[in-house]
Amino acid sequence: MIDNQTLWNIDIGGMPARGPAPPLTGLKDVKPLKDILDLTGKTAIVSGGSKGLGLRIVNRLCESGAAVVIADVDDFFGEKAVEFLSAKGYTARYQKTDLRDLNQIHACVDYTVANLGKVDILVNNAAYYKIVKFSDITEEFWDTSLDISLKGMFFMIQAVAVQMIKQGHGGRIVNISSNAGNSMENFYGWMVPYVASKSGVNGITRSLARELKPHGIHINAVVPGGMMSVGSFNMERTPEIEEVQRANPGAPIGDPDNVARVVCMACTEMSDYMDGSIIHADGGTYLGFTK
Ligand SMILES: NC(=O)c1ccc[n+]([C@@H]2O[C@H](COP(=O)([O-])OP(=O)(O)OC[C@H]3O[C@@H](n4cnc5c(N)ncnc54)[C@H](O)[C@@H]3O)[C@@H](O)[C@H]2O)c1
């Protein structure tokens, strides 16, 4: 039985390590929040970071002090993004990286280490999605979807995690998933390859959390709700699919920055006790909210 005075001192003064538990930091010594959120000196890679959610994530990571490499295939948007971020005084680079090509994935990691010294953070944001009825899905469309959104994501994690293990001071990996990974919205019936890839993203996140935790690497996933982005804005819909959409209440639509803030959090020490978590930043879509 611990008396109140001792308990109070545990809160204020902390406690030495006991058994497998780490020492408890006393209230008087807790790390200030601004230091926990500070990424000064860290280096990050963000796939698909030239536009949409990816660019918002790059912006927040830079603002928190990280140097960021944008790994994307879009030279125009990639270079414009670097121009914009550099003008704000941030350290951002663009490295052309097609996630379908393992050589380009390795070249991106090598570029980051050669130019910025190391890799501490990876955000797997790039994905390929289109609305296509199941009977119209071609093998080529299937392969492109899975190669970018799932296979490319995995091999980017592999290349970066091997580098992080070599560096010896852990790291953070955040995978961008979707409610499509749970097939939660009515509409996802028309995005089968996307659903398959995002279900895979959730599974890979949980599975790798077990393998990577012993190396001090925290891997988690963020599930965004619907967002206005170049990709979502340009999605083509046939009249039949528009009819399906009209018949089903839509999910909330948000600003990608709302999701980027959560991703940025998961890249900081805020996520020290998170491994294999699937974090929803979706305005309640997972619960069936419609606005
Ligand atoms: N927009 C939404 O409503 C929504 C909802 C839930 C989840 N998401 C997820 O959020 C993430 C970002 O979505 P977005 O809407 O901003 O996408 P977007 O289409 O606007 O941007 C995707 C980026 O990925 C890049 N990219 C495409 N193919 C690539 C390849 N082979 N190699 C490297 N980069 C490549 C594109 O050039 C682009 O910059 C995706 O993982 C998506 O699945 C989006």
**Cβ(72) – ligand 1 distance below 6 Å:** yes
**Cβ(126) – ligand 1 distance below 6 Å:** yes
What is the rounded CA–CA span in Å between residue 106 and residue 49? Answer: 17
Atom 19 of ligand 1, nearest CA residue: 231
**Cβ(52) – ligand 1 distance below 6 Å:** yes
**Cβ(97) – ligand 1 distance below 6 Å:** yes
**Cβ(190) – ligand 1 distance below 6 Å:** no
* CATH topology for the 35-280 domain: Rossmann fold (3.40.50)
Given a cut of 80, whether residue 225 has pLDDT beyond it is yes
Catalytic residues: 194
Q: Which atom of ligand 1 is nearest to the CA of 253?
A: 3
Q: How far is CA 266 from CA 19, 60, 172, 174, 202, in A?
A: 28, 12, 8, 7, 15
pLDDT of 231:
93
Could you tell me the distance, in angstroms and rounded to a whole number, from the CA of residue 128 to the centre of ligand 1?
A: 6
Atom 5 of ligand 1, nearest CA residue: 226
What is the rounded CA–CA span in Å between residue 90 and residue 37? Answer: 17
pLDDT of 183:
80
Computed over every residue of the chain, the mean pLDDT equals 95
What is the rounded CA–CA span in Å between residue 242 and residue 160? Answer: 41
| CB 273, CB 21: distance < 8 Å | no
Could you tell me the distance, in angstroms and rounded to a whole number, from the CA of residue 216 to the centre of ligand 1?
A: 28
Report domain extents, the chain: 35-280
pLDDT of 218:
98
**Cβ(50) – ligand 1 distance below 6 Å:** yes
Could you tell me the distance, in angstroms and rounded to a whole number, from the CA of residue 6 to the centre of ligand 1?
A: 53
What is the rounded CA–CA span in Å between residue 265 and residue 125? Answer: 15
Q: Give residue 2's pLDDT band: very low, low, confident or very high (50, 70, 90).
A: confident
What are 181-213's pLDDT values in tens digits? 988 777 678 899 999 999 999 999 999 999 999
Q: Which atom of ligand 1 is nearest to the CA of 77?
A: 39
Using most ligand atoms within 8 A of CB, pick from 46, 47, 50, 53 the residue to mutate for ligand 1.
53
Could you tell me the distance, in angstroms and rounded to a whole number, from the CA of residue 205 to the centre of ligand 1?
A: 18
Q: How far is CA 24 from CA 170, 216, 217, 223, in A?
A: 21, 19, 21, 32
String of DSSP letters for the chain:
---HHHHHHHHHHEE--BTTBPPEEPGGGPPPHHHHT--TT-EEEEETTTSHHHHHHHHHHHHTT-EEEEEES-HHHHHHHHHHHHHTT--EEEEE--TT-HHHHHHHHHHHHHHHS---EEEE---------GGG--HHHHHHHHIIIIIHHHHHHHHHHHHHHHHTS-EEEEEE--GGGGT-SGGGGG-HHHHHHHHHHHHHHHHHHHHHGGGTEEEEEEEE-EE--HHHHT----HHHHHHHHHSPPPPEE-HHHHHHHHHHHTSGGGTT-SS-EEEESTTGGGT---
Tokens of 82: 């670097």
**Cβ(129) – ligand 1 distance below 6 Å:** yes
What are 4-62's pLDDT values in tens digits? 998 899 999 999 998 888 999 999 999 999 999 999 999 999 999 999 999 999 999 99
Which comes out higher in pLDDT, residue 235 or 208?
Answer: 208
Pick from 103, 110, 101, 195: which is nearest to 151 by CA? Answer: 101
